[in-house]
Amino acid sequence: HGHRGICSESEWGPIARDLRLAEETGCAYHVCHISTRESVALIRKAKARGVDVTCETGPHYLVFSDEDLREDGRFKMNP
């Protein structure tokens, strides 16, 4: 099928920026549909620093990987 996944930085980059803003302003921050290990690591570190952050994911992000995408294009998700 030839589909390639999107670079994980397209997810964790904006999350890192938003976490800095949440920390500086004291605002609560919720991240929808996280799908990368880097995002999880950033959120864990922010929570350890006391940032009011929550997140969620979808089951397909826990089950499928970029290898599944190579086999069948119907598994294409973002990022």
Q: Report pLDDT digits (tens) over 26-65.
A: 999 999 999 899 999 999 999 999 999 999 998 887 887 7
Q: How far apart are the first and last CA of the chain?
A: 17
Which residues is 54 bridged to in the sheet? 30
State the Cα–Cα distance between residues 61 and 26, nearest whole angstrom.
29
Global pTM exceeds 0.85: no
Q: What is the DSSP letter of 73?
A: G
Q: Which pLDDT value is given to residue 58?
A: 87
